[in-house]
Structure 1
Amino acid sequence: MPLIPRRLRAALLATASATLVAATLPSPMPLGIGDSLFPTLGNPGYDVLSYDIGFTYHGNNRKPLDAVTTIDARTTEPLDRINLDFTRGTVRSVAVNGLRADFAVTGEDLVVEPLGTLPAGVPLRITVRHTSDPRGDQDSGGWLRTSDGLAMANQADAAHRVFPSNDHPSDKAYFTFRVTAPKDLTVVANGLPAGTVRHGASTTWTYRTEHPMATELAQVSIGHSTVRKRTGPHGLPVRDVVPAADAARLEPWLKKTPGQLEWMERQVGRYPFETYGLLVADTETGFELETQTLTLFERTLFTNKAYPQWYVDSLMVHELAHHWFGDSVSPQAWSDLWLSEGHASWYEARYAAEHAKKSLVNRMRDAYTQSDGWRAVGGPPARPSAPSPGQKISLFRPVVYDGSALVLYALRQEIGKSAFGRLERRWVRKHRDSTATTADFVRLASEIAGRDLTAFFDGWLYGEKTPPMPGHPDWHSTQPAGHR
């Protein structure tokens, strides 16, 4: 047998070793971080620091976009596999720290195999070249097709239908979007503009966030849009993105935003982000969505005269309030959703009471009457039942809206308005740009009240039955027939 040159022999040994390692690795499988409501969502082993996402839109909202997603992260444990959440797109290639990597798609995970095990605590750059497909069931989230382009609705678990990610609110990161579209279209995304470049018949628009963001709050709008600019409190840039044909018609609504910002700042402190505005999309969703710095609203909310003015105003404040509760302070787990939706519903109700004489007490009494029924159907506020199979949005049910605002009303009754106000301001200041849990809220409320409120919260957040309302012994709750 002839001798094998030393360099070739080393290469063959390395190849054989890599083959052996690959043979001993288990088959690719979806992973999750253990969220009780979305068990396969999120991925262990790394912390995402930033996303740089490039889309190329070819002018047809029923055709896939070409995309490149670059994820900068840091490993938190040794990894021989990297799981990303991703579906509804074709993966063309993956590189890890500049080296081409093998990959497999299983379930709704993209499983990447780097060359060798990555130790804990090292930088990690993952570059995925892929398509992003707007086709499919719009009710499941992800891209929304509008009359003239696209927008996003990624809550609760749909960002990975648009781009590869660690798709769980516990792993917030900074975002850069680079979107190329035909030059006659306008592109707007979360954060502030960072330049445009014209090349032939297309324009590339770049936006960057100045604060970390959960994947479910990502937003990109592509369409024949007008961007209306104005100034909010403290010189805050406010920009609204609306269908060009509706700009004048929508102006009476849009000009309300600075005043609503001022009202929210009086309640809980300074607005926590670099900009704010409304994205009014000509599409049917059945909901509005607090995408960070650029809230998604259906056009019909403002053009359908069946909706009373006070109702539309209060929904605008609901989504604005989310920028403190849900966006800046995000839920650590999806069972903490009550902290987001309960607070947004609370300030929605407060605004309606102050500006349209819609009684807060009456609304809370009505919620109390229905609370036992809501708990029977959807679980208590901080232990909600899992969403129905194939209907993830069913997690957003009355018990996490007015059923959770009712908890805040009970707390204010228990500790007093002054202490409650201090709690709200301290909460958003302490956990700004981060995530928080129900236990964190209970701990802070107890500290400010000067006494242990664990038993109080146990009943209100986890009880099958609604506890007695402090200050209102005459209030009663009922359950629907068939529930015990």
Structure 2
Amino acid sequence: MPITFPRRRAHRRNAALATAALAALAAAVPPAPPAPQGLGDRLFPHLGNPGYDVAAYDIDLDYHGNRRPLDAVTTIDARATRELNRVNLDFTHGTVRSVTVDGRRAAFTTAGEDLVITPRTPLAAHDRFEITVRHTSDPRGPVKGGWVRTRDGLVMANQANAAHRVFPGNDHPSDKAVFTFHVTAPRELTVVAGGQPRGRTREGDRTTWHYRLRHPMATELAQISIGRSTVVRRRGPGGLPVRDVVPAADRARLAKWLAKTPRQIAWMERRVGRYPFENYGVLIADAATGFELETQTLSLFERGLFTDGAFPAWYIESIMVHELSHQWFGNSVSPHRWSDLWLNEAHATWYEALYADQRGKASLTERMRQAYLLSDVWRADGGPPAAPRAADPGDQIGIFRPVIYDGSALVLYALRQEIGDAAFQRLQRAWVRRHRDGVATTEDFVRLAARIAGRDLTGFLHPWLYGRTTPPMPGHPEWRTAAKRARSESRPAPKPE
């Protein structure tokens, strides 16, 4: 029988006098023209919006093929953190048809990449409210994040600032929320989204698939796959549901790679603790993206990584571990601001390198020595790990430079050298346990490292995180950066006395 999903009703506002006073004040003072807002993130100043926290998204999508926009309804359950005459949502690359706030039609306009909504009555601080936006979601045009067209459908790649090309919302990792997806597509296609399946309903030649994530998620980590796919299911450690999504024609060819995931999850759990979500899987898309992506519970990979024969097996496995480790570092514990991105990529690169090292394929120490050699060059190009330079306009993944990957993993290597391996391992476990399902900052990491080590580490870590040049490596006084090596080799040899 059809499955219905009740939407959460916004709480009734009970501060009638306060609301009336706000309305009177708004009538007396002409409002400022609608304008894009933002949280003031140093790397993406106009991303996100102040004044409210999102608790839940309910997103309904109707897919008609890649040549036309999807019909969509996005419902947002949120709480005002201050008085609001207007509510700004991040949204672009779609047409808005109507907006309601708490079931009442609301005026709306666009400003930059913001959808600016004016409720009929202002929202008081601490009000719970529900916004419903009827809109389209357009997969056409050059790929700049958001929808990615595959040979037979669509997948999502929203990092870093592209979720609002798919649906309206507060598109910043600091405002995590629970997501529910309802996706309708021709019945011959398979739809898979992050989280747990909640059934499907059929009507004629179309099927609606329902999914819900149990844990809060940043908008940039949302994933929906639509295509001629096969879902392969198995069990991971402790009975964890593992489901992989692959092109149906490639199921046999990709089977050996999919079988590796449960063992990789177990390997990570031995190092940082229990897997943090309700399920996991690998989504292999028949598309050329140029990257792999840690979308929550369902990591995105290019088909060619596994089929082109360009890379050795140990390298492919280590990349799988990189994206898996993000489920702890970046997804469960998300960055409070985009400058904290190094915390995601440093840890994922660390476990990628450690996995290869422990299989005897690539030395972790040698990889870090090479990173140290190039570190000053990377810092000059992209800034230090915790204060990276902004990307060029229109290049949302331009912040993902080498200094964020190996250059930041080098910080972890230096920290382990400084505090010892036992303390370092306690820090890793404590970090993901303390901040699970939340957001955290670089300052949080420095404080926790000091608490675990039993001493102040600010003087040690600050140059590693914010310095323009790379500090000396503990335990390896012989290591030199390329710039330092060049200066040393250019000095004249001493003359004999």
Same fold (TM over 0.5): yes
**Counterpart secondary structure, 1:126:** strand
Q: Deviations over 1:90-121 (max 9, x none)?
A: 00000001110000011100000001211000
State how far apart, in whole Å, the 2-side matches of 1:148 and 1:18 are.
54
Q: Give the aligned partner of residue 126 of structure 1.
A: 131
CA apart distance, 1:62: 2.2
Q: Write out per-residue CA displacement over residues 136-187 of structure 1, whole angstroms, 9 at most, x where no aligned residue.
A: 221x100000000000000000000000010000000000000000000000
Letter in structure 1 aligned against 2:43: L
TM-score by length of structure 2 reads 0.92
Q: What amino acid is aligned across from residue 326 of structure 2 in structure 1?
A: H
Is 2:474 the partner of 1:474? no
Q: In the alignment, is the contact (CA less than 8 A) between 2:321 and 2:355 conserved in 1?
A: yes
Deviation, structure 1 residue 135: 0.9
1:157 to 2:161 alignment: yes
1:176-215 map, 5 Å: 176-215=180-219
Residues 26, 480 of structure 1: CA spacing in aligned structure 2 closer, same or farther, 3 A cutoff? farther
Q: Is 1:357–2:361 an aligned residue pair?
A: yes
Percent identical across equivalent pairs? 67
The match for 1:273 among 277, 282, 294 is 277
Match of 2:49 among 43, 50, 65: 43
Q: Which residue of 2 aligns with 1:9?
A: none
Q: Distance in 1 between matches of 2:413 and 2:312?
A: 25
* Equivalence for 1:108: 113
SS in 2 for 1:125: strand
- In the alignment, does 2:411 pair up with 1:407? yes
Question: Which of 241, 244, 253 is the matching residue for 1:240?
Answer: 244
**1:376 touches 1:479 (CA, 8 Å); kept in 2?**
no
1:323 matched to 2:318? The reply is no
Task: Give the unaligned 5+ runs of structure 1.
Answer: 1-13
- Counterpart CA distance in 2 for 1:400 and 1:20 is 46
* Closer/same/farther in 2, CA of residues 88 and 479 from structure 1, 3 Å limit: farther
Q: Within the alignment, does 1:424 sit opposite 2:428 as a pair?
A: yes
The reply on whether 1:117 has 2:122 as its aligned counterpart is: yes
The match for 1:284 is 288
CA–CA distance in 2 between the matches of 1:82 and 1:20?
14
1:184-226 per-residue CA deviation (whole Å, 9 max, x = no partner) reads: 0000001000010010010000000010000000000000000
**Deviation (angstroms), 1:389:** 1.6
Deviation string 1:370-389 (CA, Å, 9 cap, x unpaired) is: 00000000000000001112
Q: Find the aligned partners of 2:427 and 2:413 in 1 and give their Cα distance.
A: 13
Between Structure 1 and Structure 2, how many residues are aligned? Answer: 466
Aligned counterparts, 1:3-14, within 5 A: none
**Amino acid across the alignment from 1:62:** R
* Of 346, 356, 379, the match for 1:375: 379
Q: Residue 128 and residue 19 in structure 1: after superposition, are their counterparts in 2 closer, same or farther (change >3 A)?
A: farther
Per-residue deviation, 1:23: 7.8
Distance in 2, Cα, partners of 1:146 & 1:22 = 53
Deviation for aligned residue 1:478: 2.1
Matches within 5 A, 1:437-452: 437-452=441-456
How far the C-alpha of 1:481 sits from its partner, in A, is: 13
Structure 1 residue identity aligned to 2:346: G
The answer (yes or no) to whether the contact 1:156–1:216 under 8 Å persists in 2 is yes
Question: Does the Cα contact within 8 Å between 1:261 and 1:271 map onto a contact in 2?
Answer: yes
| Partner SS state of residue 391, structure 1 | coil
Kindly provide the amino acid, as one letter, of the partner of residue 146 in structure 2.
Answer: G
Taking the aligned partners of 1:293 and 1:151, their CA distance within structure 2 comes to: 14
Matched, 1:64 2:69: yes
Aligned to 2:390: 386
What CA distance in whole angstroms lies between the structure 2 residues aligned with 1:211 and 1:19? 39
CA–CA distance in structure 2, aligned partners of residues 392 and 176 of structure 1: 26
Q: Give TM-score, length-normalised by structure 1.
A: 0.94
The residue type paired with residue 188 of structure 1 is V
CA distance 1:351–1:296, shift in 2 (3 Å): same
Cα distance, 1:19 vs structure 2 = 12
Measured in 2, the distance between the counterparts of 1:88 and 1:480 equals: 48
> Displacement of 1:406 after TM fit?
0.2
Q: In the alignment, is the contact (CA less than 8 A) between 2:35 and 2:116 conserved in 1? A: yes
Partner letter of residue 113 of structure 1? T
Distance 1:66 1:19 in 2: 38
Q: How does 1:453-464 map to 2 (within 5 A)?
A: 453-464=457-468
User: How far apart in 1 are the matches of 2:486 and 2:101?
Assistant: 55
In the alignment, the residues of structure 2 paired with residue 129 and residue 192 of structure 1 have an alpha-carbon distance, to the nearest angstrom, of 25
1:30 aligns with 2:36: yes
Quote the residue 1:89 is aligned against: 94
CA offsets, 1:321-343, max 9 Å, x none? 00000000000000000000010
Q: Quick one: which amino acid aligns to residue 449 of structure 1? A: A
Which residue matches 1:3? none
Q: Deviations over 1:110-135 (max 9, x none)?
A: 00000121100011100000000001
Residue aligned with 2:268, SS: helix
> What is the aligned-residue RMSD (CA, Å)?
1.7
CA distance in 2: counterparts of 1:199 and 1:428, whole angstroms: 43
Residue 53 of structure 1 pairs with residue 59 of structure 2: yes
Is 1:299 matched up with 2:310?
no
Decide whether the 8 Å contact of 1:310 with 1:356 is kept in 2: no
**1:78–1:353 distance in 2 versus 1, CA, 3 Å:** same
Q: Aligned with 2:220: secondary structure?
A: helix
Q: What is residue 14 of structure 2 aligned with on the other side?
A: none
- 2:347 matched to which residue of 1? 343
Cα deviation code 1:21-55 (max 9, x no counterpart): 39811111000011000000000000000000000
- Matched to 1:358, the amino acid is A
Residue identity opposite 2:36 in structure 1: P
Q: How far, CA to CA, are the matches of 1:346 and 1:168 in structure 2?
A: 25
Secondary structure, in 3 states, of the residue corresponding to 1:241? strand
Residue 174 of structure 1 corresponds to which residue in structure 2?
Answer: 178
Q: In structure 2, list runs of 5 or more residues that go unmatched.
A: 1-19, 488-497
